[in-house]
Amino acid sequence: MKHTLSVMVENQPGVLARVAGLFSRRGFNIDSLAVGQTENPAVSRMTIVVEGDDRIVEQVTKQLHKLIDVIKVGDITAEKYVDRELVMVKVNADAGQRGEIMLIADIFRARVIDFGRRTLTLECTGDEGKITAFEESLRPYGIKEMVRTGKVAMLRGTRFTSVENSGLDQDVE
Amino acid sequence: MEITAAQALVRCLEKENIEIIFGIPGAAIAPVYDALYNSKIKHVLVRHEQGAVHAADGYARATGRVGVCMATSGPGATNLVTGIANAYMDSVPMVVITGQVNTERVGTDAFQEVDTTGITIPITKHNFLLKDPAQLGETVKKAFYIASTGRPGPVLIDLPGDVTSSKIKFKYPENVKLRGYKPTYRGHPNMIKEAARLIDKAQRPVIYAGGGILNSSACGELKQLAETIDAPVTNTFMGLSSFPGDHPLYLGMLGLHGTRYANMAITECDLLIALGARFDDRVTGRISAFAPGARIIHIDIDPAEIGKNVKVNLPIVGDVKQILQALLTQVKKTERPEWHRRILELKDNYPMRYSREGGLKPQFIIERLYAETDGDSLVVTDVGQHQMWVAQYYRFKNPRMLISSGGLGTMGFGLPAAVGAQLGIPGQQVILITGDGSFQMTIQELSTVKEQKLPIKIFILNNQKLGMVRQFQQVYYEGRYMAVDFLFHPDFELLARAYGIDGFTIRSEEDAVSMLPGILESPGPALVNCLVYPGENVSPMVPAGRGIDEAIEFAEGENTL
């Protein structure tokens, strides 16, 4: 089963290497990893999607927590959260197909962000299911190039994950 | 007043009450060595950086304090790697200081440049590459704090030469702030209560005690718990010396080369109380056959160890000493005569034994050393058969009296670790029991022994082989012995003399009996080449993939060449 971990880390050089290295040397599979600064510039947030049974995910969480630069680890899978991914797709688009593709873009509320002689580049955001469906519907036209950011996630409502406050403090002790 | 960051580093070490640094200088670390020139900290110049890191390790294990070692960039740092990994596996508190090329050269493949922090991420508890000299004090404070608290481990600080040469305003911080590091010490009260309930309910409990007992200085509490709840105690290799070897409740070591009665007690127990131990594969054998009928209480300071290898019924995270103190107020004084009758039966049916036929047996030397020292020596070992024979036949009386490479199994650990241990506890008799294979891996440190005037007694159990590998090939490769025989050895007695150390050779039981007392009482270092029967195997042995109750013993004819 896929788990979504929200990991708050010190915004320091080497942190990504520590986290990525931990996954590879312990044989954990990362589905996606997205990292960026938070509202606090000293803190970065990683959203890591990891595949595994509960025991594996428990180990991942505990091992992450052992890293000194990791401030907080939360498994938000069972919580109510919103998640988004961004994709950019460069798709074959001859003059005759452009209309159809624009229609698809419209359905997915995607946007055209670049225009080539025989291609269109589209961006789309959404949860994983939507992005995958978007990709599938463009596939028949021939995808030249695609890049996905990996998922970022946030708790719903007033609850929040942050370093100082404990909306969802899933510190593993 | 402004001082260089290197001088500040030395001040930090003085503030941490560091007495000894083990190391070898070089260009990138030169500013630090220059700053040591006026310090009262003793620097021990070893002959290879691996010697420095193992010596710091031995020092830390013997004294319970943080060991410190130092090396230059590049090869200096890479030579430390084995020793850092060794300290990490055995949870030894250590601060490793390495020089690095100047910051503007970092990343350019400069002379003697290597990505030291990158290389050591998986084998340190944490590491730092210091780029801002102003952060020196804070970094060193953090390093010592991280190394010595929670589950101890090595922390490395990589110091570019231009950083250590910079002038800074120095202030050593009183406290550290690490929001990502908060070890748990107090066990959860409800869990402790539940543990007491499980213990009172159990019919056949066994205590399985590891190195965590020694790290948290909980040997007194362990003994008290065992006696209160009347439960037999088995040690992991790392836990040896945490429980008196001659105690009636003692089962000896468990696992791959453990006593058969310890392993069978584990198999038959209905409650396993794991204290500061990590269910290592050398302990458990086939996991599904490990303590199959038992509920498991696992007490450990590292939450990641809980549930890693086996499913646990009751986890308690925290400092084992504090938890045992709390637990002791809640458990009832119990007697379990039936369980003890069964344990005695197991001890009678499956005793530890070896045959004295066929020549000088290594086990005999260990037994003699135990008898001659009354179990009061600090024993350092290397890795291999001799190490297991020490674990089986030397009965440790007092805590921290065994120093050995457990988790990583580093051949060559012994001699430099003995150097560190002896320097840490100068008045203590230190004996190194090693093998002819291990000893030659760090033999250069004999110079350090002589130079530092350390009265270490070194016993080489010499079978002219890599005996443990040979045993492995006998059992798993039908005796196709490949690359395990040494066809040449130096004359160890002469070699000792070359280093200015007394050399001896023991060839028979008679030699052992007559020579050991004099050697042990001699004031200086001694190197004793013990020519043991070369075909001896470590017995019992749990074959790979089997349950620990399925150990085999080698019949007389199977200890052959």
Q: Span B282-292, mean pLDDT?
A: 96
Indicate whether A50 and A69 sit together in one domain.
yes
Domain presence at residue B550: no
- Whether residue A43 sits in one domain with residue A101: no
**pLDDT over 90 (residue A168):** no
Task: Please judge whether B179 and A163 are an interchain contact, meaning their C-beta atoms are less than 8 angstroms apart.
Answer: yes
Which structural domain range is residue A24 located in? 2-80+156-171
Contact A170/B at CB under 8 A: no
Number of C-alpha atoms within 13 angstroms, CB side, residue B197?
A: 8
What is the total count of domains within chain A? 2
Cβ contacts (< 8 Å) between B122 and chain A: which residues? 21, 25
Flag whether B329 is in a domain. Answer: yes
pLDDT at B556 > cutoff 80? no
Q: Which residue of B has its CA nearest to A72?
A: B180
- CATH value at residue B136: 3.40.50.970
Please give the mean pLDDT across all residues of chain B: 97
The answer to whether the Cβ–Cβ distance between B125 and A67 falls below 8 Å is: no
User: String of b and e for A16-51 (b: at least 16 CB within 10 Å)?
Assistant: eebbeebbeeeebebebbbbeeeeeeebbbbbbbbe
Residues B484 and B450 in one domain: yes
Is A16 within 8 Å of chain B by CB?
no
Residue with tokens 């908060």: B182
| Nearest Cα residue to B409 out of B49, B90, B80 | B90
Domain, as residue range, for B308: 189-349
Distance from CA of B290 to the nearest CA of A (A): 19
Cis peptide before B540 (omega within 30 of 0): yes
CA pair distance B223, B244, nearest whole angstrom: 8
Question: Given this model, what pLDDT does residue A127 score?
Answer: 94
Mean pLDDT of chain A: 91
Q: Which of B135, B169, B203 is the last residue of a domain?
A: B169
> What residues have CB less than 8 Å from A107, skipping those under 6 apart?
none
Q: Vertex A12, ends A9 and A18: CA angle to 5°?
A: 65
Both A86 and A104 in a single domain? yes
- DSSP for residue B333: P
User: Are the CB atoms for B129 and B158 separated by under 8 Å?
Assistant: yes
pTM of full prediction above 0.90:
yes
Q: What is the pLDDT of residues B475-497, one digit of tens each?
A: 999 999 999 999 999 999 999 99
Is the domain of A18 the same as that of A71? yes
A50 in B contact zone (CB under 8 Å): no
Would the CB atoms of B180 and A59 count as touching at under 8 Å? no
The number of residues making up chain B comes to 561
Instruction: Give the chain A residue nearest B146 (alpha carbons).
Output: A68
For residue A143, the domain's CATH number is 3.30.70.1150
DSSP class of residue B216 equals T
Residues B406 and B531 in one domain: yes
- Show residues of chain B in contact with A66, CB under 8 Å: 302, 304
Give B367-397 pLDDT, tens digit per residue: 999 999 998 999 999 999 999 999 999 999 9
Position A158 scores a pLDDT of 82
Q: Are residues B193 and B307 in the same domain?
A: yes
* Omega prior to B362 cis, within 30 of 0: no
Distance from CA of A149 to the nearest CA of B (A): 26
Q: Is residue B179 part of a domain?
A: no
* CB B225 within 8 Å of CB B333: no
pLDDT per residue as tens digits for the range A106-129: 999 999 999 999 999 999 999 999
Does the structure show a pLDDT above 90 at B336?
Answer: yes
Choose one of B169, B204, B225: the last residue of a domain.
B169
Q: Which of A11, A40, A62 to mutate to test the interface with B (most CBs of B within 10 A)?
A: A62
Percentage of residues in chain B with pLDDT exceeding 70? 99
- Does B161 score more than 90 pLDDT? yes
d(CA B484, CA B470): 6
Cross-chain Cβ contact B179/A71 below 8 Å: yes
CB B423 within 8 A of CB B44: yes
Count of C-beta atoms within a 10 Å radius of residue B90: 25
Give the model confidence (pLDDT) of B403-457 as tens digits: 999 999 999 999 999 999 999 999 999 999 999 999 999 999 999 999 999 999 9
| Domain-located, residue B559 | no
A68, A15: one domain: yes
Which residues, numbered 147 to 166 in chain A, qualify as contacts with chain B under a Cβ-Cβ cut-off of 8 Å?
Answer: 163
Mean pLDDT of B77-88: 98
Closest residue of chain B to A13, computed from CA coordinates: B129
Q: Where are the beta strands (DSSP E) in B329-418?
A: 378-381, 402-403
Query: Are A113 and A147 in the same domain?
Result: yes
Which residue blocks in A67-127 are alpha helix, DSSP H? 98-107
Answer yes or no: do B193 and B339 share one domain.
yes
Q: Which chain B residues are Cβ-neighbours of A25 within 8 angstroms?
A: 122
Residues B204, B296, single domain; the answer is: yes
Q: What is the pLDDT of residues A23-55, one digit of tens each?
A: 999 999 999 999 999 999 999 999 999 999 988
Is B561 a residue whose pLDDT tops 80? Answer: no
The verdict on residue B543 lying in a domain is no
* Mutation to test the A interface, candidates B89, B106, B115, B121, most A Cβ within 10 Å: B121
Question: Does one domain contain both B305 and B267?
Answer: yes
Q: Is residue B513 part of a domain?
A: yes
Q: What is the count of structural domains for chain B? A: 3
**Is the CB of residue B284 less than 8 Å from the CB of residue B266?**
no
Same domain, A8 and A73: yes
Sheet architecture: strand order including A43-51: A29-37, A43-51, A2-10, A70-75
* B121: nearest CB among A21, A70, A172: A21
Q: Place B174 in a pLDDT band, splitting at 50, 70 and 90.
A: very high
User: Contacts of residue A70 in chain B, CB cutoff 8 Å?
Assistant: 180
Q: How far is B158 from chain A (nearest CA, A)?
A: 13
Residue A162 pLDDT > 90: no
Query: Residue A153: what pLDDT?
Result: 94
In the structure, what pLDDT confidence band is assigned to residue A173 with cuts at 50, 70 and 90? very low
Residues A133 and A87 in one domain: yes
In angstroms, how far is the first alpha carbon of chain A from the final one?
23
The percent of residues above 90 in pLDDT, for chain B, comes to: 98
